Structure 1
Amino acid sequence: MTGDPELQALLRLTAWLSPAFPIGSFAYSGGLERAVADGLVTDAASLAAWIGTLISHGSVWNDAVFLVESHRCQAEPARVAEVAALAEALAGSRERHQETLLLGEAFLAAARAWPDGVFERLPDKVAYPIAVGAVTGAHGIGPEKALAAFLHAYASQAVSSGIRLGVAGQKDGVAVLAGLEQRLLEVARRAATSTLDDLGSATVQADIASLRHETQATRLFRS
Structure 2
Amino acid sequence: MRETSAVQALLRLMAWLSPAFPVGGFAYSGGLEAAVQSGHVSSAEALEDWLVTLLRCGSLRNDAVLLAEAYRSVEDDERLRAVTELAAALAGSAERHLEISRQGGAFLAAASAWPGAVPEVLGDGTAYSVAIGAVAASNGVGLAETLSAFLHAAVSQLVSAAIRLGVLGQSRGVTLLSRIEDVIADEAGRAASSSLDDLGSATLIADQMSLRHETQHSRLFLS
TM over 0.5: yes
**Does residue 176 of structure 1 match 2:176?**
yes
The Cα shift of 1:100 comes to 0.3
> 3-state SS of the aligned residue for 1:120?
coil
**Does residue 84 of structure 1 match 2:84?**
yes
Aligned residue pairs, count:
222
Q: How does 1:9-158 map to 2 (within 5 A)?
A: 9-158=9-158
The residue type paired with residue 73 of structure 2 is C
Kept after mapping to 1: 8 A contact 2:9/2:142:
no
TM-score by length of 2: 0.97
Report the counterpart of residue 211 of structure 1 in structure 2.
Answer: 211
Give the distance between the partners of 1:18 and 1:11, measured in 2 at CA: 10
Kept after mapping to 2: 8 A contact 1:81/1:123:
no
The one-character-per-residue Cα deviations of 1:1-47 (angstroms, maximum 9, x if unpaired) are: 79x71101110111001111010000000000000000000011101
Question: What RMSD in Å do the two structures reach over aligned CA positions?
Answer: 1.2
The residue type paired with residue 118 of structure 1 is V
Kept after mapping to 2: 8 A contact 1:28/1:221:
yes
Identical aligned pairs, as a percentage?
A: 55
Give the distance between the partners of 2:105 and 2:122, measured in 1 at CA: 11
Q: Which moved further from structure 2: 112-121 or 211-220?
A: 112-121
> 3-state SS of the aligned residue for 1:118?
coil
> 3-state SS of the aligned residue for 1:23?
coil
Give unpaired runs (5+ residues) of structure 1: none
Kept after mapping to 2: 8 A contact 1:74/1:118:
no
Kept after mapping to 1: 8 A contact 2:54/2:61:
yes
The one-character-per-residue Cα deviations of 1:83-114 (angstroms, maximum 9, x if unpaired) are: 00000000000000000000000000100111
Report the counterpart of residue 187 of structure 1 in structure 2.
Answer: 187
4+ residue runs of structure 1 moved beyond 3 angstroms?
Answer: none
The Cα shift of 1:119 comes to 3.5
TM-score by length of 1: 0.97
Kept after mapping to 2: 8 A contact 1:34/1:213:
yes
Give unpaired runs (5+ residues) of structure 2: none
The Cα shift of 1:77 comes to 1.3
Kept after mapping to 2: 8 A contact 1:75/1:118:
no
